[in-house]
Amino acid sequence: MSSSSSTGRTPHRRVRQRIPGAYRLVRTPPVPVDPPELDAAQHGVVDHGTGPLLVLAGPGTGKTTTLVESVARRVARGTDPERILVLTFSRKAAVELRDRMAVRLGGRRGPQATTFHSFCYALIRAHQEADLFTEPLRLLSGPEQDVAVRDLLAGQLVLEREGRGRVRWPDELRACLTTRGFADEVRAVLARSRELGLGPDSLAAFARRTGRPDWSAAASFLAEYLDVLDMQGVLDYAELVHRAVLLAGRREVAERLVAQYDAVFVDEYQDTDPAQVRLLGALAGQGRTLVAFGDPDQSIYAFRGADVNGILDFPYAFPRADGRPAPVAVLGTSRRSGAKLLDATRLLTRRMPLTRLPAAKVQAHREPVPVRKGGQVETYTFPTPSTELDNIADILRRAHLEDGIPWNDMAVLVRAGGRTIPSIRRALTSAGVPLEVDGDDVPLRHEPAVSPLLTALRAVAEAALRPQSEPEEEVPGDDAPDQAEPDHGLPEPDATEHDMPGDDAPLEVASEPLASDQPASEQPASEQDAQGVAPPGAVGWLDVETALALLSSPLGGMDAADLRR
């Protein structure tokens, strides 16, 4: 018997002494939240029992509130939160839903609220074969996928010259292989193909039926692209959903998914693509409980693969257990927009028919009852984009100075953020209008603090990769005319002096006379570098536009007056 067991004593628990004036974390119980007041249409959705249901909900009609209350009602009836799945399209929306459900449930454990891609990744990881994949699959980001596609396209020309190319692009497209626009088009074709469930063989068969050699080349490129992804152990987002759909189609996996969830809720259903609709069919098809919230008039992500036909075909794609089409509910009370604004939107939606949904439901959806009056809609047209920006700045300034509207109560919406926001930012800043741009709307490479740094790195990298020209054999003698050095009134650099070129000439680096009598071309390279002599081929490595951009950026710190001098 050990000494510790023979004593029979338990060690005394050390009591931490409280330090006077120190802070102490106290867990406070969740504050009960009163349920919100719902209208009759919202009560009808919340009280929905089993089976599929499509909820048409415009902006400001209480869609998210109704979804949260539907989940809370099922939990109150005794449904295990783990058997409820809530799917949405962005991480921000998923976090918001989780927070709102946690508050509504009084701090109790809530159901799983996640994005489609996160759910697909978890599904694939749960059934991933450990022998084939020792490391977890990694998702390619958008920029990483863009680089991968561009590298593969650029390598096609090299493989063709070596006689090892498998992809035969048409002659009229070969000159486009190294362009960014063509790479974006190819990337979109790859994504749409996988969203439609098409593989290389199906795409090649389609190319043969239609007699399109470009589609045949795209099919071969898709096969090569997928091989490269498998070899690297990575997936893009379209391939992630496609493989999750294939996995959910297996009988044993489908049975497990059906038994795992009693109800599935989908937010922003109008943004689904065909692959996600097939995934929902495996999760909650055949008359099971699937409640989808959406607005076909807000389907604006077609460039990302979203298909409005998903919400239009919902009643027939997800019928009830007895075969009848799924019912359609409408949230018809607008709590956000004024009456005049709703009248203006009604004039626009009349030109967008929705023929596959019940006519009475579409009419109720597009004619919501406003809670408050007011609102104003004005339309302006301008001859040039610059005139438009100047008038936008003028309208904002007048609203703030004359009407007293705070700056944070104004917003400027644009259609294409990457192309439009930089010009709007410059125009409003010049007009003295303070602004804040959402970080999601501006790519990182376009941020004012990042763009000049990338420009400088790109200039140095391109100069380092540029092949150096051969030095000239003839060396000027002592009688060669001395190069006149311009006097800019600035301290002279140690080894080099930059001549200011004209508008069309590139910047050149002129070498200073060496302290030694030996010509620069006859000195060792290391000695040239030590004395600051530009190597052969370095002349003209920086163009005027790049130089001006760097000098006027925060890196250079020069203003327009400095550049003129």
Cβ–Cβ < 8 Å for 60, 337: yes
Residue 379 phi, psi (nearest 5): -125, 130
**Which of 65-74, 156-165, 331-340 bottoms out in mean pLDDT, i.e. has the lowest?**
156-165
**At 497, is the pLDDT very low, low, confident or very high (cuts 50, 70, 90)?**
very low
Cβ–Cβ < 8 Å for 293, 213: no
Structure tokens at 105: 């449930």
Instruction: Determine the average pLDDT of the residues in 106-134.
Output: 83
Q: How far apart are CA 538 and CA 509, in angstroms?
A: 7
- Three-state SS annotation for 421-433: HHHHHHHHHHCCC
Cβ–Cβ < 8 Å for 305, 192: yes
The pairing of strands 84-88 and 496-498 is: unpaired
Closest CA to 36 of 419, 330, 335, 377: 335
- Local structure of 263: helix, strand or coil: strand
Contacts of 28 (CB under 8 A, 6+ apart): none
Contacts of 301 (CB under 8 A, 6+ apart): 271
Structure tokens at 160: 């063709």
Indicate if the pLDDT at residue 286 is higher than 80: yes
Indicate if the pLDDT at residue 55 is higher than 50: yes
Instruction: Determine the average pLDDT of the residues in 468-497.
Output: 45
Indicate if the pLDDT at residue 138 is higher than 80: yes
Q: What is 40-127+242-370's CATH number?
A: 3.40.50.300
According to the model, what pLDDT value does residue 18 have?
67
For 437-475, the DSSP string reads --GGGS-GGGSTTTHHHHHHHHHHHHHHHSPPPPPPS--
Q: Whose structure tokens read 């075969």?
A: 323
pTM for this predicted structure: 0.71
Average pLDDT over the chain, rounded to whole? 80
Cα separation values, 201 from 218, 238, 506, Å? 11, 18, 51
Q: How far apart are CA 186 and CA 165, in angstroms?
A: 18
Q: How far apart are CA 361 and CA 43, in angstroms?
A: 17
According to the model, what pLDDT value does residue 288 have?
93
Indicate if the pLDDT at residue 51 is higher than 60: yes
Dihedral-angle region of residue 404 (phi above 0 means left; psi in -120 to 50 means alpha; beta otherwise): left
Q: Whose structure tokens read 């009688």?
A: 479
Every domain of the chain and the residues it spans? 40-127+242-370, 138-232, 385-446
Indicate if the pLDDT at residue 491 is higher than 50: no
Structure tokens at 456: 């400088």
Q: How far apart are CA 240 and CA 221, in angstroms?
A: 18
Structure tokens at 558: 């020069």
Instruction: Determine the average pLDDT of the residues in 359-372.
Output: 91
Cβ–Cβ < 8 Å for 376, 340: yes
* Angle of CA points 18, 19, 20, to nearest 5°: 115
Cβ–Cβ < 8 Å for 541, 466: yes
Structure tokens at 459: 């200039």
> What is the total residue count of the chain?
565
According to the model, what pLDDT value does residue 173 have?
85
Indicate if the pLDDT at residue 485 is higher than 60: no
Q: How far apart are CA 549 and CA 478, in angstroms?
A: 39
